[in-house]
Chains A and B, each alone.
Chain A
Amino acid sequence: MYSPQLAEHIAHPRNVGEINNPSGIGDVTNEVCLDRIKLTVLVEGDLLIDAKVKASGCPPTIAAASVLTELIIGRSVEQVRSVTRTDVANALGHLPPAKHTALHWQSMRCVLQSKA
């Protein structure tokens, strides 16, 4: 039902926490199931040098939040902008086609907006 990659992120979520004085915050809640992702990032120049995440909710939400940090740390803001939902899904093997899968994407868009 769940991929080994997703299970691994559930068992060992990456980059958990919050950055003090972040460059950007993406804090989004799914109003239907109340899943939440809070993503904070630190940008220096054009480079996203750090990201921390907190999340609550279903396994896909937790895993997507965790893997998202791995996909964006060390990337240029332009590269981060080009990360797609498919990239996240691929990094996790696959994601169930449920509403929750959009949350990580929204958190990233939100973080970029707040950074801008």
Chain B
Amino acid sequence: MKVYLDNSATTAMAAEVIEAMLPYFSDEMGNAQSVHSFGQRAKAAVEKARREVAALINAAPLEIVFVSGGTEADNLAIRGIAEAHRDHGRHIITTKIEHPAVLATCEALEASGYRVTYLPVSRTGIVSADDVRQAIGDETILISVMLANNETGTIQPIEEISALVNQARSRGLKHLHLHTDAVQAVGKVAVDVDRLGVDLLSLSGHKIHGPKGIGALYVRKGTRLAKLLYGGHHERDRRAGTENVPGIAGLGRAAELARTQLDERINRMRALRDYLEQQLLSRFNGVRINGDIQQRVPNVSNLSFAGIDGESLLIALDLKGIAVSTGSACASGSLEPSHVLQAIGLSRDEVRGSLRFSLGAYTTREEIDYAISVLVDTVSRLRDMIPTDEPDEAKAALQ
């Protein structure tokens, strides 16, 4: 049996999405910028998708910029604001638990003269709005805080932060902007750009049962943003390059499904996720839930198994057809252990024993039951192997 529980990494495309994309690979191959009817049909598909993506997050279609994915959306938001508003200030606020697409972009800006504040988070992985308030200064032009964390699923208080942004603006900080990386939140919780009060929001196709290589950046009307790519005047001059029409059509359909099936998907994923956790917690000692149990997306469970290396569990599960991920990276040499789990204050052993289960819209109860049965067997087996006595110093040596 194959059980894919790594939907935070990527998802399978919905059959409806594949169907929506297929014509644009062959018969409807037109360039959306072309004047002829092939081009106009491609353009129509792009605009239909734009309406769907906008509807998913309660934006206006013209506020949607199609890009290649979440990483480009984050880069465009952060570098776009930084460059466009550099004369008004060079300070950016973010958190220690952001995705590398945000953290590495901020680090690159630091190298070119910007100052970045990386805020800590609580033991449950939530940034304090008060910390954000205290970090805002006269030079601050951007706050970038993710909506849901990719490892723990913890949801950040974006509405509280946007209220602070509004207060700061009313005090004269006209060039302060709020960006949220919502790649892990869209399709898992209701996302409304007006309620959140954000100026920019990143989303990705392949996290919502859409295609890889396509994403979108929401840019609130009137926001001044520098471009990353120079070329044609595509996407209202926000993003140069021939439109990825099949990808955009697929993202549009995925967004439509995510919107129309949102409640059903949330209920289904939450019930299965909670069932998985309840079964594992009741069968094992030494299992803890990482992140905030209440404030999190319904499809993610990040657990630490005491005494076990997460990679060993991952490998053993993989052999049985089950895909998960881990924050442990001890054996892979070059990779660092999860910066997110370290930031929420987990011990080295807790990070090492961590495993992330992330469910998708199509995960079934049968799959979860299979995963539980394999886990029960595997965890017991690996724990049986742990030495129960303390190391004998006399016999241990030899480095």
Contact = CB atoms under 8 A, between A and B. Distances in A.
Interface of A: 1-2, 6-8, 10-13, 16, 25-31, 33, 36, 38, 53-62, 65, 96-98, 100, 106, 109-110, 114
A54 B392 contact: no
Given A16-B385, A54-B385, A109 B398 contact: yes
A90 B375 CA distance: 29
Contacts of B381: 11-13
B330 A97 contact: no
Which range holds the interface residue count of chain B?
20 to 34
B317 to A, nearest CB: 9
B386 A54 contact: yes
Contacts of A31: 399
B320 interface: yes
A10 B397 contact: no
A1 B315 CA distance: 10
21 contacts: A6-B315, A7-B315, A11-B378, A11-B381, A13-B382, A25-B395, A27-B392, A28-B395, A29-B396, A31-B399, A33-B330, A54-B388, A55-B386, A56-B385, A58-B309, A59-B312, A59-B315, A96-B333, A98-B331, A98-B333, A109-B398
Contacts of A38: 387, 391
B27 interface: no
Nearest to B311: A59
Interface majority SS on A: helix, strand, loop or mixed? mixed
Contacts of A16: 384-385
- Identify the 8 closest CB pairs spanning chains A and B, nearest first: A58-B331, A54-B387, A11-B316, A27-B395, A106-B398, A38-B387, A56-B386, A58-B330
Given A7-B316, A33-B330, A106-B398, 20 more contacts: A2-B315, A11-B316, A11-B319, A11-B378, A16-B385, A26-B395, A28-B398, A36-B387, A53-B385, A54-B387, A55-B386, A56-B307, A57-B330, A58-B309, A58-B330, A59-B311, A59-B331, A60-B331, A65-B385, A97-B333
Interface string B323-354: 00000001111000000000000000000000
Nearest to B374: A11
Nearest to B328: A58
- The winner among A7, A11, A53, A98 for most chain B CB atoms within 10 A is A11
Given A54-B385, A54-B386, A110-B398, A59 B309 contact: yes
B107 interface: no
A10 B316 contact: yes
A41 to B, nearest CB: 13
A71 B197 CA distance: 64
Contacts, number: 93
A10 B379 CA distance: 11
B38 to A, nearest CB: 44
A13 B333 contact: no
Nearest to A106: B398
A2 B309 CA distance: 15
B274 interface: no
A55 B387 contact: yes
Nearest to B389: A38
A18 to B, nearest CB: 8
Interface string B300-324: 0000000101011001101110000
Nearest to A12: B381
Contacts of A27: 387, 391-392, 395-396
Contacts of B385: 13, 16, 53-56, 62, 65
B398 A58 contact: no
A58 B392 contact: no
A10 B315 contact: yes
A7 B318 contact: yes
A54 B384 CA distance: 8
A28 B396 contact: yes
Contacts of A60: 331
Contacts of B307: 56
A30 B319 CA distance: 27
Nearest to B329: A58
A27 B396 CA distance: 5
Nearest to A53: B385
Contact of A114 (B332, B333, B395): B395
Contacts of A33: 330
A62 B387 CA distance: 12
Given A13-B385, A98-B333, A110 B309 contact: no
B319 A8 contact: yes
Contacts of B395: 25-28, 110, 114
Q: Which of A6, A55, A59 has the most CB of B within 10 A?
A: A59
